[in-house]
């Protein structure tokens, strides 16, 4: 039986310190390409607050946790802002699988119906804690036994079939930032184990 080569994967990651932490750990893999998600996050957060889908307190905590993390100032030349750019990247690099981590790009139905596998890593139990502000909600509800989840991307946010998980525990005695770091480290470990 011959060994199959690993899938050509694209890591599409948020342009923040946690996304760049993943890039530091994964960019040396020959079968992995990396691009930053260039979608506008600020206006998306404002829209979600206005629609009541995320608490302003959660946004405040997430924002200040990010500000207090160490800067990772290396440059990534590939930035994807929309589905057309994603499609061109997939063709150019002959990508078999896209793994999204802390990204905001909504994958359209045309891409989802292609031969490319689209996976998302969400760093809280789904479906209970799908969407933005999941760590904040889990802490507030005392749901401390959590897991990072790798799931198939569908046209509904955080509703796809679960492929792999990584358990972790939140600690209400620690700061929000430390709990968020724990959650996203579990997500990073899950990706590294499955890429």
Q: What CATH number should be reported for the domain holding residue 27?
A: 3.40.50.170
Q: What is the pLDDT of residue 187?
A: 97
In a domain, 2, yes or no: no
In a domain, 110, yes or no: yes
pTM of the model: 0.90
Whole-number Å distance between alpha carbons of 68 and 104: 21
> How many Å separate Cα 193 from the centre of its chain?
15
Which residue has 């969407």 as its token pair? 131
In a domain, 4, yes or no: no
Q: What is the pLDDT of residue 45?
A: 62
In a domain, 177, yes or no: yes
Are residues 85 and 107 in contact, defined by beta-carbon separation less than 8 angstroms? no
In a domain, 1, yes or no: no
Residue 98: strand pairing partners: 10, 118
Q: What is the pLDDT of residue 134?
A: 94
Please report which helix (H) or strand (E) contains residue 3, including its range: none
In a domain, 66, yes or no: yes
In a domain, 82, yes or no: yes
Q: Residue 128 belongs to what domain range?
A: 9-194
Residues of the chain where predicted confidence (pLDDT) is lower than 50: 1-2
Are residues 54 and 132 in contact, defined by beta-carbon separation less than 8 angstroms? yes
Q: What is the pLDDT of residue 1?
A: 44
In a domain, 135, yes or no: yes
Q: What is the pLDDT of residue 156?
A: 73
- Of the chain, the percentage scoring pLDDT greater than 70 comes to 90
pLDDT, one tens digit per residue, over 97-123 is 999 999 888 899 999 889 999 999 999
Count: domains in the chain? 1
The residue among 74, 83, 86 whose CA lies nearest residue 27 is 74
Alpha helices per DSSP H over 68-175: 83-93, 109-112, 134-140
């Amino acid at each position: 039986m011959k060994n199959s080569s690993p899938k050509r994967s694209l890591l599409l990651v948020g342009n923040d310190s946690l996304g760049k932490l993943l890039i530091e750990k994964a960019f040396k893999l020959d079968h992995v390409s990396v691009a930053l998600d260039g979608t506008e996050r600020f206006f998306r957060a404002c829209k979600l607050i206005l629609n009541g889908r995320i608490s302003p307190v959660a946004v405040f905590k997430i924002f200040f946790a990010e500000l207090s993390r160490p800067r990772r100032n290396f440059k990534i030349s590939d930035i994807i802002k929309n589905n057309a750019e994603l499609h061109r990247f997939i063709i150019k690099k002959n990508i078999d699988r896209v793994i999204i981590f802390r990204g905001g790009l909504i994958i359209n139905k045309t891409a989802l119906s292609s031969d490319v596998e689209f996976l998302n890593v969400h760093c809280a139990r789904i479906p209970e804690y799908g969407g933005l502000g999941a760590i904040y909600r889990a802490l507030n509800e005392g749901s401390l036994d959590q897991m990072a989840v790798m799931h198939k991307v569908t046209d509904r946010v955080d509703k796809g079939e679960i492929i792999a998980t990584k358990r972790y525990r939140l600690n209400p005695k620690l700061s929000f930032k430390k709990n968020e770091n724990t959650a996203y480290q579990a997500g990073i470990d899950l990706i590294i184990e499955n890429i």
